[in-house]
Structure 1
Amino acid sequence: MAAGIQCWGDHGLFQIDGSTPMLSLKDKGSGTTGGLFSMSNADYVNFSLGSVPYSPGDLIALQCYGAPIALSGKNLDGSAQVMALGANVSFNWWRYCRHIPSGTNVGMEIYDGSGSLIYDTGRPILQVVQEIGGSGDFALPGGRAYAVLTQRTYSRKEKDVRDNGTGFAWIHVDAYHGFIQSTASGFHAVNELFAGGFVSVVGRMDQQGIDFNTYTLGGNQDNLFTVIDVTNT
């Protein structure tokens, strides 16, 4: 650009310039998941569901110390679905989007070349710390508060039809998902079996005690999260 403002970070990248729309805090809040989800005829389930407000274009960051948690999709009402390993799990959330004018009358305002407001200092900016991938423990500098944006979560479903020793064929499903939990030193990510069991009877088998027709669904791509700093937001 021929004129305008350019702010560089210590990492050598633009923090703010006069042409790129900024991502800033839209709103924030907290929520609690419900009781353990009930699956008809399932042998075991250990997850609960909650929700976060969502509009197209929003980036949602989560923070949960009580249990592993995941952003798992959208509900029928358009809100984002949160899944937790355990019942009645409390969590915090932040929503970021293309900057919305804050309406404050003090501080800095930045306009692009067409005269559109792309940032003002009345809203906290999205502060990216680093990316973390896979599973395990991830340490971060102390003295700050962090949340994670989900880029990709591990997901796998295994389905097979088996006898189960009764002479009748049953469909058995195991579902795995990537979860992340805040810790005192950073985050812990885990790929966890969260639901499964014999879910339905499909008819009589000629050969008892034999498993057959096993399917594994999902790309087996591992977790990828973006850590952001939410201190004082």
Structure 2
Amino acid sequence: MGAGFQCFNDDGVVQIDADWRCQALTRAGGFGASPNLQALSVNGSNPLIFFRSDGRIHLTDRRQSGSTFTFYFYAQQAGGVFYVFDWSDEQTNVGFQVFDGNGALVFDAGQKYLRVAGMETLTANYTGSSSFRSMPGRLLAFLGSGLAFDYYSDQIDINMYDVNRSFSYLTGGNGGYYVNQAVDNYNSSVALDGGSSAMCLIADVTNYPTNR
């Protein structure tokens, strides 16, 4: 940036930049297990949805109509919690605030912002464990992108389990996460996501509300 406020952590990574708006938690809630396609509609600018669940999540589509975004997903095995992050103009009027040159809210100390805990690359046409990382005492949610989800042929699933809840038998894994990429039916000569690797973004949602 040419001029304006910046804030860095101890490792020199930028945390707040007046030229880049932070994405705040705008909605959170629960969802149940169902064999049917579920839909969640939110109003916003460019929302991202993260999931916590003890089962597989099939995120099939995100459709936009004006300022309304609808996410479609399957959650057959178990319910869970969703977290929606988006640019927000909501001001808590408590604590530190940063605005950009046009007066748009960049950061508000009273908001809960997207905290990226990690990013994993998932190999196309692969079945098995992708990664494990220990983050003791943290609650994590995930967003999968870049995949050709095809529920009806059951081609690919991504699931991320909290080790404390679902994989507690893993030695030394308390509080970590385990990303699993399962491919059930595919043509091994064709990458499911069009040839590129998919990404799984991990967010730290510790102490974030689950009903908003």
Q: TM-score normalised by the shorter chain: which range applies? A: 0.7 to 0.9
1:124 Cα offset (Å): 0.8
Overall identity of the aligned pairs, in %: 22
Q: Take 2:177 and 2:90, find their aligned partners in 1: how far apart are those partners?
A: 32
Identify if the C-alpha distance between structure 1 residues 76 and 12 changes in structure 2 by more than 3 Å, giving closer, same or farther.
Answer: closer
What residue in structure 2 maps to residue 152 of structure 1? Answer: 146
Which sections of structure 1, spanning at least 5 residues, go unmatched? 37-47, 158-172, 197-214
Q: 59, 62, 70: which is aligned to 1:79?
A: 70
* Residue 231 of structure 1, aligned match among 170, 192, 206: 206
| Higher mean C-alpha deviation, range 128-137 or range 22-31 | 128-137
Q: Which amino acid aligns with 1:58?
A: P
Q: Quick check: which one's strand share is greater?
A: 1
Q: Residues 115-157 of structure 1, C-alpha deviation per residue, up to 9 Å, x if partnerless?
A: 3322211211111111012251422311011001222235479
Tell me the C-alpha RMSD between the 2 structures.
Answer: 3.1
Q: TM-score, normalised by structure 1?
A: 0.66
Equivalent position amino acid for 1:62 in 2: F
- Which residue among 176, 179, 183 is the counterpart of 1:188? 179
Match of 2:50 in 1: 61
SS in 1 for 2:101: coil
Distance 2:104 2:49 in 1: 25
Q: Give the Cα separation in 1 of the matches to 2:93 and 2:14.
A: 25
Letter in 1 for 2:108: D
Give matches, 1:47-196, under 5 Å. 48-55=36-43, 57-65=46-54, 67-74=55-62, 79-86=70-77, 89-102=78-91, 104-134=92-122, 135-136=128-129, 137-153=131-147, 155=149, 174-184=153-163, 185-193=176-184
Q: 1:101–1:119: 8 Å Cα contact kept in structure 2?
A: no
Gaps of 5+ in 2: 123-127, 164-175
Number of equivalences: 183
Which whole-Å CA distance do the structure 2 matches of 1:140 and 1:31 have between them? 27
Q: Name the CA shift for 1:223/1:178 in 2 (closer, same or farther; >3 Å).
A: farther
